[in-house]
Amino acid sequence: MGPAQANRASWTLAAPALMLLLIGSIGPLLIVLVYSFLTPGDYSGVQRPFTTRAWEQVFLTRDIFDDTLSWADAHLTIFWRSVKLSVLTTVITFLLGLPTAWFIATRPRERRALWLFLITIPFWTNLLIRTIAINEIIRSEGLLNQVLGWVGAGPLNLLYTDTAVLIGMAYVYLPMMVLPMYAAIDRFDTRLLEAAYDLFANRWQALAHVVLPVIRPGILAGSILVFVPSLGAYVTPRVLGGGKNMMIGNFIELQFGQGQNWPLGAALAVLLLVAVGLALAIYVRVLGGTGRDDG
Amino acid sequence: MAERRFDPTRLPGFATVAVAVFVMLYLPIATLVAYSFNGGESVAVWGGFSLDWYGRAWANETVKAAALRSVVIAACASTLATVLATLAAVGVVRNRRMKGRAVVYMAINQPLMVPEIVTAVALLIFFASVRQATGYQGLGYLIAAHAAFCVPFAYLPISARLEGMDATLEAAAADLYATPRQAFRHVTLPLLTPGIIAGAMLAFVISLDDVVITEFVKSAGQDTLPTYMLAQMRRGVSPEVNAISTMLLLVTVALLTAFFIINRQTNRGKQRKRPQSLPSASRPWRCPRWPRGS
């Protein structure tokens, strides 16, 4: 079979899958882009003419009386909350995930599989179920407040706060951070540490100057795996944040539901997509700089 | 200075944090499971062990219908995704010099990179207009949407298995005058079967667990178990939701355990340095599970 023939065979075999993805994923994204330039319909949906109104609405509000433009504070609050909570989630999962990944990677080979399996179970457990489980812990009569009651500390009203959303996201995305870091640490040559000790580095110096730079690709992969879904999170803020503590994902939903402003929702969706694309692009760029794309 | 005695693999406090993390990971799940056996009426007070809530969930017609719908959708979507992913993998993996290989690769993995909420509203818009044009109201939309995001999960173990397979066996079959079709049917397919089963199982779990896309694509009265639970959460936790969660959890763990056993047999004798089921550090899109249902 010649190369041209082989090519045609490959494409023919891949075509059904590509068709499905075109209908079920890629194609609709293009429609979202078009919708972001339309006018809201009378009840729902959209109508013509094409405008940039929705995009303007993303950041600005027009006063209904004197037609002046001002910053859309409500939107900016939601954007800020999304970015803040996503960054914090990434930092927390890193701080907790690094020791965990290190711990697993330094277990005896036979027992490592068990520890990995223990990380993998929550990783695969339905995100909604894990969010409900966290709800069970932090709600007012939950386990946390019962324990606090026994030790005589006052009850915490965590549920439906930003902190609740943060706890929930750190909990559900932690395994995403641990697994790639584990893969990186697993390949780490511990003789480098011995060399560092020989050169009179203490443990923290060795960690900062030897371990972290070497496992950087794993850290970056873990961070992107946590940051990207955090930014688009929908279920966790909805269940733990209540109606008020929305993130971009919930705000997009609002526009397609009660808000009845599909073009604005579409523009927000495109914006989210661009933000995620940007994060991925930076990730690829930074990783390219390390010259270690050996996965 | 005296001889510095150390174990280079130990960093102070790391083991403590790690063990605390494992406790924190399992404590909420354990609490949820424990409370599903709570006999009391209130969610807060422990009223003794009972299977009451399982009985109630079981007797609830809405829950039963949602469970059946979940399974039907997951079965159809994972079958469709697995068949298409198998074809694509055979086409792409075997042809290393394929023109546009990167494009196919990107397209297949695309559902992993786009935030689920964005795909969900995109499908809402798209299927709303299809619904209006055709009048079709059935489960087809959900099955198509689920199948699409399941493709990368089905593709992953299948292509991994194919890459680890010895291509000379197919060449030998061709030497013995097998047509490409015969070689595929009698050589490639049997060897590929464990990968296909693993891929189908992953796709099934992913479809069963999906919340966000289902929530947006479903028509009225098309709740699956996860969307039913999400709706219930508006009123806070109920023991019934705990019972349903525990049952879903059990199904997931059972399928995962089976997956790991199959995967281990698949990888045995392949002498690969790293197990296939782990994400590669530098390519997140090869991760077995990108966060669905975020």
- Tens of pLDDT, residue by residue over B7-66, are 656 777 888 999 999 999 999 999 999 988 888 766 667 777 888 888 888 889 999 999
pLDDT of B280 above 60? no
Contact flag A9-B95 (C-beta cutoff 8 Å):
yes
Where does the pLDDT of residue B291 fall: very low under 50, low under 70, confident under 90, or very high at 90 and above? very low
- Residue B75 in 3-state DSSP? helix
Find all residues with CB under 8 Å of A74, minimum gap 6, and list them: none
Share of chain A above pLDDT 70, in %: 97
Among B217, B196, B249, CA closest to B31 = B249
- Residue B60 burial (CB count, 10 A): 15
Tell me the nearest-neighbour CA distance from A68 into chain B, angstroms: 31
Predicted TM-score of the model (pTM): 0.87
Contact flag B95-A129 (C-beta cutoff 8 Å):
no
- CA separation for the pair A141, B255 (Å, rounded): 34
Where does the pLDDT of residue B4 fall: very low under 50, low under 70, confident under 90, or very high at 90 and above? low
Contact flag A24-B148 (C-beta cutoff 8 Å):
yes
pLDDT, position B218: 94
Chain B partners within 8 Å of A243 (Cβ): none
- CA separation for the pair B57, B51 (Å, rounded): 10
- CA separation for the pair A141, A130 (Å, rounded): 18
**Tokens encoding B29:** 């799940």
Work out whether strand A46-47 and strand A69-71 pair parallel, antiparallel, or are unpaired.
unpaired
Where does the pLDDT of residue B283 fall: very low under 50, low under 70, confident under 90, or very high at 90 and above? very low
- Total residue length of chain A: 295
Chain B partners within 8 Å of A229 (Cβ): 115-116, 290-291, 294
pLDDT of A116 above 50? yes
pLDDT, position B140: 94
Please state the three-class secondary structure of A175-231 as a single string.
Answer: HHHHHHHHHHHHCCCCHHHHHHHHCCCCHHHHHHHHHHHHCHHHHHHHHHHHHHHHH
Question: Is residue B120 classed exposed, middle or buried when 0-12, 13-18 and 19+ CB atoms within 10 A define those classes?
Answer: buried
pLDDT, position A20: 93
- Average pLDDT score over chain B: 83
- Average pLDDT score over chain A: 87
pLDDT of B281 above 90? no
**Tokens encoding B138:** 């059935």
The least confident of A45-54, A110-119, B131-140 is A45-54
Q: Does A294 touch chain B (CB under 8 A)?
A: yes
Among A147, A3, A139, CA closest to B42 = A139
Judge contact between A237 and A167, C-beta under 8 A: no
Over residues A240-258, the mean pLDDT reads: 90
- Residue A61 in 3-state DSSP? strand
